Amino acid sequence: MDTLQDSQGATEQEKFSNLQNVQKQASKTRKRARDLNQISHELPRKRLRTRDLSQTNSCERAEKQKRTREEDNPLHDPDQPSPKKPQKLSSSEWSHISHWARKQSWPGEYFQFSRMHHLLARKGSVSSLGRKRSNPSLASFNASDERPREEKSAPYRNPSYPTFLSEDVDNYKSYMEDHELGLSDASEKLLEKLLHSAQSPPKVSLFRDNDIFKKHLRKLKGKNESRIIQDLSPLLVPSAEALATLGADHFDGIVESVNEGWNKCFPITKPRPRPDSAFGYGTSSFSDNQLNNLRPTLGDASFSSYFKATYYMHFPFLTKEVKTGTMGLGIADNQNAHSMTIAVRAVVELFKLVGRENELHREVVAFAISHDDESVRLYAYYPFIDGDKVTVWRRTAARFYLDVDTKWRSWRFTTNIYEIFSPMHLQRICSAIDDVTHDWTFSRTSEPRGSEPPQQLEVCDSTSESSGLSQRLKHHRLNEEAEVSKSQPITPSTSIQTDPKSPTRKKKKGKYE
């Protein structure tokens, strides 16, 4: 009996022990579950993305079309970029290609020079332009502008310089004398009017009293150019911009440069002109349509042009040079002759462009003034046109010493140029610009035979629109040194370069250098 009770007690004790073990195990399980649940809340859950059925169908269709195209074009390399869409050729280009296909040679008109080819604006040489600049005002800067005045006039000290100008340079010869036929009757009357038309001189100046005038000249005796330019020159050649500021509103279109190099023109000889003062027309003198008509010949601020002196001055018509010493005025005359030959050429080339160059025959188109501390020389420049041959000549309007009777003579002459000649000259230029057609398609070009040939030329193919030139431009890279000789047979190349090739880097050991 006792044995049975002992066995039952042991069994109950085992059950109780097992129950405790189960409870402990359950407690551990619940704790582990809580820990896992806490960790799952701390970690971000990644959701399964489901693709929309419509997206899946569209992607499958695109992939199928791609495989179909690749099967149709077995030569297509998927690693290579797709070729660009070919540009449409004009009818003239198609005719040239057709002529080559039939006769294995280019048509003759492909090599005919247009009367406009040499007038296109050109980018300056690397030495003159340097690195690309974002500020247009810096585009006309040149190291020559910082040279001393004595250095800039050194090339003009050569006694043979007038002979250099009289040589055939770009079909222009310039003579520092009057032609035997002289000026036309209209220009003779104009010159007399400029010399003798009355003008009111400034009331407050160093010239207002004869005694003050004489005393002022005595103080300037033997002084250098800078002193004469500062204290005497404004009373002989007044500033057009200063007069406009003081109330002469009709002078507003005239712009002025002081000791600034003509870095945007094509010079006749070296170096480029750098007059002590120069006067021409700013862009405000022309309408938008007129500027559009000349856009291929002007380019932007970095381009050189037949019609520009600086980046802001077009068609210069007056220059002034100041010198000292016994030989000074001769050097000043040489400098003025170079500048005014360029000025006359600009107007003649514009009128040639519209077939009206004969209107300028023996007509005054530019003026120059040379002076020192004692005397003044006034000149008028005009072209003599004989068919395709153009020569530039100089009329001496007046030479005089400064005294109480002549002290205002140069001032009056200059002011009359601004008031009488300048509006008439501008109207004449604008009438020619209005007649410029928009056919600027060229096959070949030749470079101007100046002292600094341009680096490249961009040719614009444009058609007439209501706003002026069309925006459709075609750029061609031209060979600077290519010249087609009339005595040699034409053997053109069949390839046409459209853009200059950019320099390529050579690979070395798997790296670019």
Q: Which span out of 106-110, 363-367, 385-389 was modeled with the highest average pLDDT?
A: 363-367
Bond before 500 cis per omega within 30 degrees: no
Tens digits of residue pLDDT in 186-232? 999 999 999 999 999 999 999 999 999 999 999 999 899 999 999 99
pLDDT at 65: 61
pLDDT at 85: 56
pLDDT at 333: 97
pLDDT band at 513 (very low <50, low <70, confident <90, very high): very low
pLDDT band at 22 (very low <50, low <70, confident <90, very high): low
Cβ atoms of residues 174 and 392 within 8 Å: yes
Please choose, from the candidates 174, 180, 176, the residue with its C-alpha nearest in 3D space to the C-alpha of residue 391.
174
pLDDT at 14: 66
pLDDT at 196: 96
pLDDT at 103: 73
Query: What stretches of 263-349 adopt beta strand conformation (E)?
Result: 277-281, 303-304, 314-322
Question: What is the residue extent of each domain of the chain?
Answer: 120-434
DSSP 220-259: HTT--HHHHHHHTHHHHS--HHHHHHTT-GGGTTEEEEES
Helix (H, G, I), strand (E, B) or coil at 383: strand
Q: Flag whether pLDDT at 494 surpasses 60.
A: no
Which 3-state string (H, E, C) describes 74-142?
Answer: CCCCCCCCCCCCCCCCCHHHHHHHHHHHHHCCCCHHHHCCCCCHHHCCEECCHHHHCCCCCCHHHHCCC
Q: Which span out of 31-35, 67-71, 264-268, 497-501 was modeled with the highest average pLDDT?
A: 264-268
Q: Which residue has the higher pLDDT, 89 or 152?
A: 152
Say what percent of the chain tops pLDDT 90.
45
Q: Flag whether pLDDT at 18 surpasses 90.
A: no
Q: Flag whether pLDDT at 490 surpasses 50.
A: no
pLDDT band at 93 (very low <50, low <70, confident <90, very high): low
pLDDT at 102: 77
Sign of the alpha-carbon torsion through 394, 397, 400, 402: negative
pLDDT at 31: 67
pLDDT band at 12 (very low <50, low <70, confident <90, very high): low
pLDDT at 130: 35
